[in-house]
Amino acid sequence: MPDSPSLTDIPLDDLKVLELGQLIAGPYCGQILADFGAQVIKIEPPGKGDAMRQWGEADSETGDPLWWNLIGRNKQSMTLDLRQPRGQEILRDLAARADILIENFRPGTMERWGLDYATLSRDNPGLIMVRVTGFGQDGPYASRAGFASVCEAMGGLRYLSGYPDRPPVRVGISIGDSLAGLHGAMGTLVALHQRQRSGRGQVVDSTIFESVLAMMENLIPEYARAGKVRERSGSFLPGIAPSNAYPARDGRDVIIGANQDSVFRRLCEAMGQPGLADHPDYATHRARGENQQAIDDLVAAWTRHHDSQTVVDILARAGVPAGLVYRAPDMLADPHFQARDSIVEVPDRHGKPLPMQNVFPRLTDTPGRIRHVGPALGEHTEVILGDWLGYSPDTLDALRAEQVI
C-alpha cells in the first residue's frame, strides 16, 4: 500500500457544521462531512438524543446498540432543547459562527422556531443550510411525513424491485435516506465552492424522492418518447444479456455480467464454446437481448458443472466480470477488502475494536478517516458552549437546571 498521508491533511477540517434532526438522511450527510474532517456538532434533545442511538442490533457483550457507532462517528454531541426559546436563542448564536447547518425536520419546523434561513443568514450571510426531507421545501406534498419507504416508491425504485409475479419489494436498506444524505453532502460542497466566489451561502434542498428519481437512469425518457414503462424483472435487466445470477455446483450463485460484445466473446471462450460468439442469435447486443432466456440457459448449464469459486476464478482469468453474492462474513474474510482497508476496526467507547466501513471515496493526498465512533449523548455540550460562545460554568449549570441542555 502507498505511504499514508499526514494525519493532519484532512480536507474539511476548517469547516464548522451544526447537524439538527434525527434518523438517517440528515445525519448521513453529516457523517460524510465529518469523515472528511469537518467539525460536526450533533444537536440532540436532552435526555433521549437521536433515535438512531436505539436502532439496529445490540452488541452481544455490552448490550449497546451498534448502528450509532457508525452514523455518529467523527461527530461531537451537544444537547439542546430547540422547543424552548432559550434553546432557539443558543442555536441562533451557534449558527452565527457556523459554516453549515444540516436539518431534516418537516418543512415549516425551523420557521416556527425562528430558525429559518432568512433569520439565520442575517447574522451569517455565508451560512449554508442543508435541508433534507422526503418531498422538499415546496410543492403540494411538502408538509407530508416522508420516510424512505414511501419516497423510494414515489421515486420509482419500489416498482422496479422484485419479480413481476409478486408485489414490489423493498431494498434491504434505507437507500433513499442515504441517497438524500449523499446528495445533501454533494450540494453542500457545490454551495461551498460558490461561496468562495460570492461570499454568500444558500439553501441546499435535498429530497428523498428526487434522490431516488435521480438514480432511475432513462426511465422517464423511455416512457415519454417510446411509451415504455419499465417493469420488475427479478434478477436480470430485460434486454441485457448475459447478465444474471447463475447457479453453481456447490449451491451458490455467481453473478456474471458479459453483455458487451468483446466480453461475451471471452465468456464463450472460457466456457469452451467460442462459436456462440458468432451465432446470429447471440452475435450482437440486440440479438442477445432478444434471446435472453436461451443464452441464460446456456450459461447456467456451464456454471452448474463447477463450484462457484472455480467459476469466478476461470472468468477472472478470462477478463469476464464475475463474483459471488457477499454477506458480511464474506466481506470481512475477503483479501481484496483487507488489502484496501475497505473495512477497518475502530475502538468503541469501551475500547473494544469494532469493524465498520471505511471512508469513501478515497483521496490520494487528503483522505478522510475515522477518528472515533459515535459519541455519548451530550458528551461535548460544555466544551462547545464554552469554546464557541464563551459560556461560564455558572451559565451552563443554569441551562442544565432549566433542561435547556
What residues act catalytically?
177
Beta bridge partners of 39: 16
Rounded CA separation 281/275 (Å)? 11
Q: How far apart are CA 78 and CA 378, in angstroms?
A: 4
| Nearest Cα to Cα of residue 215 among 178, 244, 165 | 178
Greatest extent of the chain over all pairs of C-alpha atoms, in Å = 84
Q: How many angstroms from the chain centroid is the CA of residue 288?
A: 34
- For residue 389, which amino acid is it? L
CA 110 to chain centre: 25
Question: What is the β-pairing status of strands 75-79 and 39-44?
Answer: parallel
Cα-Cα end-to-end distance for the chain:
46
Taking the C-alpha atoms of 186, 145, 39 and 123 in order, what is their torsion angle to the nearest 10 degrees? 90
Residue with cell 493532519: 8
Closest CA to 180 of 142, 209, 220: 209
Residue 260 and residue 3: Cα distance in Å, rounded? 37
As given in the structure block, the three cell numbers for residue 105 are 425536520
Other C-beta atoms lying within 10 Å of the C-beta of residue 218: 12
Distances (CA, A) of 147 to 49, 106, 133, 363: 19, 11, 9, 32
* Integer Cα distance of 9 and 29 in angstroms: 21
Is residue 242 reached through a cis peptide bond, with omega within 30 degrees of 0 on the bond before it? yes
Cβ burial of 72 (10 Å; 0-12, 13-18, 19+) is buried
Cell triple for 122: 442575517
* Cell numbers that stand for 342 in this block: 475497505
